[in-house]
Amino acid sequence: MTRKIENTLKIKNGQSVSLSEIPVLEYREFYAVVLRLLNAEDVHCVNYYAYPDNDNLKFICCLADDSAQSVSLLSHILPSGKGPGELESLTRRVGALHIFERELWENFGVKFEGHPWMKPVRFSHNRYNRIIAMHDYPFYRIKSEELHEVGVGPIHAGVIEPGYFRFTCNGEMVLHLEIQLGWQHRGVERLFLEKPKLLQRTMLAESITGDTTIGHTLAFAQVMEGLSGISTDSRLDAERSIALELERIAVHTGDISALCTDVAYQLGAAVFGALRTPIINFTQEWCGNRFGKGLIRTGGSHYSLTNVLIQKLRKLLDDFEWRFKEMADKAYSLLSVENRFDNIGMVTNKQARLIGAVGMAARTSGVKRDIRHSHPFAAFRVISYVPVMLEKGDVYARYYLRRLEIEESINYIRRILDNEQFFLSETTPPVPEANLHLYPSSITVSMVEGWRGEICHSAVTDEEGNIIHYKVKDPSMHNWKALELSLRGLEISDFPINNKSYNLSYCGHDL
C-alpha cells in the first residue's frame, strides 16, 4: 500500500504506518521537496506539526495529493539541545503554510526566518512564551491621523462564541481586519494525551466543536481504527456517511436562516430556521442527542439505523425537500437579498489558493477541495460524491452553495439508502470497542469533509502504543484568513453577513 517516492511516504486517508517508514530529511531538502510537491495544483498541506522526540523536535508534514488520493508524509528533525532553533520560513513561498508555522513557533519557540506574520495563534496554555498573554497580541497598526480603529469583542452581541475583531478604517471603508483568537482554548490536544481512556478521548472529540460533532468524532474514530487495525463494515460506513450529511443539511439550513436574519428577511429566517429542527430532531431520535453526541464510536455503534428509522428518514427527506424548495425558490430569487450579498466578501481563486482555503470557502472560489471526493472515507469509497463548485467567491456564492449542497446531500443519502449493498442484512453494526491496543511507533492521518470543510486528525504512538501526540486541524484554521482578507475595501456593516457566510469555528480553531 505504501510507496516511497521523492523522499516521501504515501499513504491513504486513515491508513496507519510505522514512524520509521517516514523519510527524515535535512531541512534544506525537506524545504525543496515540500515546495516541489506543493507546486502541483492538486496538492495542499493538510497538517504540519511537531512533537518532542527524545532530545529532538520531530516535524511531520502531511501533503494531500487530491488526484492520486494519497497523502505524502515527510519529516525533519531539529535538535532541541541549543534552544528552540531557527528555520527558513516556507510561508514566504507558500502562503497557506503560515498558520502551521505560527503554531509551531507558538508552541515550541522555533523561529521561522522570513515569516511575514509571526503572531500567536491561540495563546495555548503550553505555549513556549508564557510571558505574553491575551492582552499582548501584536495588532497590525497603521499610523495615520486620518484612520481610526474599531475593536469588537471578545464577547459579542449575541449567543455566540468569543473572538476579538479589530477593524482599521478610513472613514467608512475597512482597510484591514485582524481577528485575535484563542479565547476558547481548552487544551484539547493535550487532554488527548492526559485522558487515557478511549471513552474519554471520544468525549473530547465530540466536544471539539459541537456543531461538527459527527465530523470530528468520525475523524477521531478513523484515527483509532487505523492505529488498531479495525476495518469497518459497509453498514457502519453507510450510517456514518448518512450522519455526516444530516449534520451538513442541518447546519447549512440554519446558516441560510441566519443569513436571512442578517438582511432582515423575516420569512426566510423563520422558515429555514424551523426546517432545521426536524433534521436535528431526527438525529436525536436516532441517537438521543440533537447534535449526534453518542452516535459515532470506534469500531461500531450503539445506535443502529433501524428499518423503522430508515422509513422515517425517507419521509423526513421527502417532506424537507419540497418545503425547502418552496422557501428557497423565493429566498434565492429576491432581488433585495441578492443585492445585499452580491459582490460582498469576495475571495478570488488566487487568494483562496494562496491562503489554503478549504471546504465551502474553497469550493465557492473554484478550488476543488472536498475530502469526500479526493480522499474518500466511509461510504464515499463506494458511492462517489461529486463536489458542488462555484466561481465567484462572494457572500452570495456561499449562500447559494449551501442550497446546492443541501440538495446534493439529500440525493446522496437517498443513494445510500437505495444501495442494497449497505443494508442487505438486518444486522446491526458491531458494539463499539471499549479498549484498544494501538500499534507501537506508528502514525495515522485521518481526514473527513465536515460541513465547514476538511477536518484532519493525526496521532503518533510510542514504542508501547501510547499516544504521544494528537493533532487536530479544524477547517477554520485556514478559513479565518479568508474572512479577514475578504472584508478589505468593504464597510464594517458588511461584516455580519460576511462573517455569517463563513460561519467559522472559534472553539475548533482555539481547541
Residues in touch with other proteins (CB under 8 A):
122-126, 134, 154-155, 157-162, 182-188, 190-191, 194-195, 197, 199-200, 202-204, 207-211, 213, 267, 270-271, 273-274, 277, 284-285, 287-291, 293-294, 302-303, 323, 326-327, 330, 505-507, 510
At closest approach, how far in Å is the CB of 313 from other proteins?
Answer: 15
CA 138 to chain centre: 26
Q: What is the nearest approach in angstroms of other proteins to the Cβ of residue 154?
A: 5
Of residues 291 and 412, the one with the C-beta less far from other proteins:
291
- Helix runs in 263-306, H state only: 266-287
* Cβ pair 100, 118 in contact under 8 A: no
- What radius of gyration, in Å, describes the C-alpha atoms of the chain? 22
- Write down the least CB distance from residue 201 to other proteins, Å: 9
C-alpha cell at 369: 477541495
Residue 430 to residues 94, 216, 483, 490, Cα–Cα distance (Å)? 44, 21, 42, 53
Nearer to other proteins, 274 or 424 (CB): 274
Minimum CB distance to other proteins smaller for 122 or for 353: 122
Are 248 and 451 in contact by the 8 Å Cβ rule? The answer is yes
- Three cell numbers, residue 307: 428499518
Least distance CB 287 / other proteins (angstroms): 7
Strand partners, 56: 53, 79
Is the CB of residue 428 less than 8 Å from the CB of residue 400? Answer: no
Residue pair 162/156 in contact (Cβ under 8 Å)? The answer is yes
Residue placing its CB nearer to other proteins in the complex, 109 or 210: 210
Nearest-10 crossing angle of helices 307-331, 395-418 = 150
Nearer to other proteins, 124 or 446 (CB): 124
- At its nearest, how many Å lie between other proteins and the CB of residue 262? 14
Cα–Cα distance for residue pair 51/72, rounded to 1 Å: 18
Distance CA 164, CA 175 (A): 17
Q: Which is nearer to other proteins, 315 or 368 (CB)?
A: 315
Residue of 366, 342, 370, 341 lying closest to 352 (CA atoms): 366
Which of 97, 87, 114 has the alpha carbon at shortest distance from 25? Answer: 87
**Min dist. Cβ of residue 40 to other proteins (A):** 36
Preceding amide of 154 cis, omega within 30:
yes
Report the residue number, 144 or 200, with the smaller CB distance to other proteins.
200
**Contact between residue 174 and residue 490 where contact means Cβ atoms under 8 Å apart:** yes
- Minimum separation from the CB atom of position 125 to other proteins (A): 4
Which residue number, 277 or 343, has a Cβ lying nearer to other proteins? 277
The pairing of strands 24-25 and 70-79 is: parallel
Closest to other proteins by CB, 69 or 207: 207
Q: How far is the CB of 363 from other proteins (least distance, A)?
A: 23
Exposure b/e, 244-271, CB count within 10 A at least 16 = b: bbbbbbbbbbbbbbbbbbbbebeebbeb
Cis peptide before 84 (omega within 30 of 0): no
Q: Of 254, 129, 188, 290, which Cα lies nearest the Cα of 507?
A: 188
- Least Å distance, CB 194 to other proteins, is 7
Closer residue to other proteins, CB minimum distance, 167 or 265: 265
Measure the CA–CA gap between 320 and 413, rounded to whole angstroms.
Answer: 13
Smallest gap from residue 204 Cβ to other proteins (A): 6
- Read off the DSSP letter of residue 373: H
Residue number, 35 or 274, with CB nearest to other proteins = 274
In whole angstroms, how close is the CB of 81 to other proteins at the nearest point?
26
- Written as nine digits, the cell of 211 is 456543531
